[in-house]
Amino acid sequence: MPAVAEFEATARERLDPAHYDYFAGGAQEEITLRENEEAYKRLRLIPRVLRGSDKRDLSVELLGTPSSMPILVAPTAFHRLAHPDGELATARAAARAGTIMIVSMASTTAIEDIAAAAREVTPDPGLWFQLYLQPDLEFTEAIVRRAENAGVKAFVVTVDSPVLGRRERDDRNAFHDLPAGLFVENLRNIGENRSGGNTSHVREIVMSAGLNWDHIAWLRSKTKLPVLIKGVLHAEDARLAVHHGVAGVVVSNHGGRQLDTVPATIDVLPEIAAAVGGAVPVLLDGGIRRGTDVVKALALGADAVGVGRPVVWGLAAGGREGVSAVLDLLRADFDQALALCGGRHPADLTPDQVRR
């Protein structure tokens, strides 16, 4: 079975170079982008012996949403840049894999249509919705209602983007707007005709450096669904998140696309897991490319991991089948690594099995 890198190579051949750079790139010197992957290569695994099982169970349940494996689809924008079927293909593949897809607010397909595509595959798909809280809270609430009505099961608020990171590849390519015909469909004004195709009806995503814990409390007051925050790197923020009633924490540096020179997520995971102390689930994304990466993250305290670019590469390489192939590959690779580590379930992995 090919590795994630081979899907990336195929995607690179197929994509417009500016679009490839948009997906592949990171902020500024891309130090964090590289570090996310490199950090895994510095960690060594210590297997346990004579305690595994031929019957392994990779499934987990996260905040009431079952997942067939602890590998989720991280939220990434603009899937129709990667493949004409866009998020519909991703959603069908995630549903077929029985895993959770965290739909980006910046999807190029409306959440209602994504949910309908997933429901063609499975009656009760595990869809979560990623939010950039908009300063216009009324508008934000309208998006929350839309996502709830579409059937999402949790909200993931991205908190690492007070301003947009500086992506120098995009600057060089002058890639700053979606091509004609593609829109951030979830930001079409509520009540407008969704098939209208008039840009004036689609709002831009606004990043706000003025967001604070009160906005998280506001969102919690507006929805009964679990609210996670994504983009935590400081242990004190993880403690504050638990204090403020957040349902889960995603350790993420946005795939190296926001603040450059922050550490690899795997390197801060132990301190965040310690700060959270099991009070809420801890998820992690960034640089996961192999089953051993998943094993290391789970051993060091993550309940599940997210994959961003690997899914995009699968999508660009082969649409729904490509995403399915990537998810199947990661599942098989993780299952094998788990078996080699002497585990039968993700929870069997422990911090003493990872050595620096």
- Is residue 254 within the footprint of ligand FNR (CB under 6 A)? yes
Query: Distance between alpha carbon 1 and the CA centroid of its chain, in Å?
Result: 24
Which of 176, 243, 254, 345 is labelled catalytic?
A: 254
Torsion (CA) 197, 199, 201, 205 in degrees, nearest 10: 120
# binding residues, ligand FNR (CB under 6 A) = 22
Question: Interface mask (CB under 6 A) for ligand FNR, residues 309-338, using x and -?
Answer: x-----------------------------
Ligand-binding annotation for 22, yes or no, is: yes
Ligand-binding annotation for 167, yes or no, is: yes
Return the number of the residue (144 or 348) whose C-beta is nearest ligand FNR. 144
b/e 232-256 (16+ beta carbons within 10 angstroms → b): bbebebbbbbbeeebbbbbbbbbbb
Site for ligand FNR in 93-122 (CB under 6 A): 104, 106
Torsion (CA) 143, 145, 151, 156 in degrees, nearest 10: 50
Beta strands in the chain (DSSP E): 44-45, 60-62, 65-67, 71-73, 101-103, 127-131, 155-158, 227-232, 248-251, 282-285, 304-307, 354-355
Site for ligand FNR in 140-169 (CB under 6 A): 158
* Distance between CA atoms of residues 68 and 102, nearest Å: 15
Site for ligand FNR in 33-62 (CB under 6 A): 36
Return the number of the residue (12 or 56) whose C-beta is nearest ligand FNR. 12
Among 98, 255, 301, 318, binds ligand FNR (CB under 6 A): 255
Return the number of the residue (46 or 164) whose C-beta is nearest ligand FNR. 164
Q: Quote the tokens at residue 242.
A: 């638990």
- Is residue 74 within the footprint of ligand FNR (CB under 6 A)? yes
Among 62, 69, 77, 101, binds ligand FNR (CB under 6 A): 77
DSSP assignment of 241-266, as one string? HHHTT-SEEEE--GGGTSSTTPPPHH
C-alpha distances out from residue 220 to 3, 95, 166, 209, 324, Å = 40, 27, 31, 20, 34
Return the number of the residue (47 or 162) whose C-beta is nearest ligand FNR. 162
- Is residue 353 within the footprint of ligand FNR (CB under 6 A)? no
Closest distance to ligand FNR from the beta carbon of 230 (Å): 6
Contact 46, 355 (CB under 8 A): yes
Closest distance to ligand FNR from the beta carbon of 157 (Å): 9
Among 130, 134, 292, 353, binds ligand FNR (CB under 6 A): 130
Among 11, 15, 20, 23, binds ligand FNR (CB under 6 A): 23
Return the number of the residue (109 or 348) whose C-beta is nearest ligand FNR. 109
Q: Report the candidate in 157, 195, 153 with the shortest Cα–Cα distance to residue 62.
A: 153
Interacting residues of 43 by C-beta distance below 8 A, sequence separation 6+? 266, 296, 354, 355, 356
Closest distance to ligand FNR from the beta carbon of 52 (Å): 28
* Distance between CA atoms of residues 105 and 157, nearest Å: 10
- Is residue 83 within the footprint of ligand FNR (CB under 6 A)? no
Query: Does the active-site annotation cover 176?
Result: no
Find the distance separating the first CA and the last CA of the chain, reported in whole Å. 29
- Is residue 75 within the footprint of ligand FNR (CB under 6 A)? yes
Site of interaction with ligand FNR (CB under 6 A): 23, 36, 74-77, 104, 106, 130, 158, 230, 252, 254-255, 257, 285-288, 307-309
Catalytic residues: 254
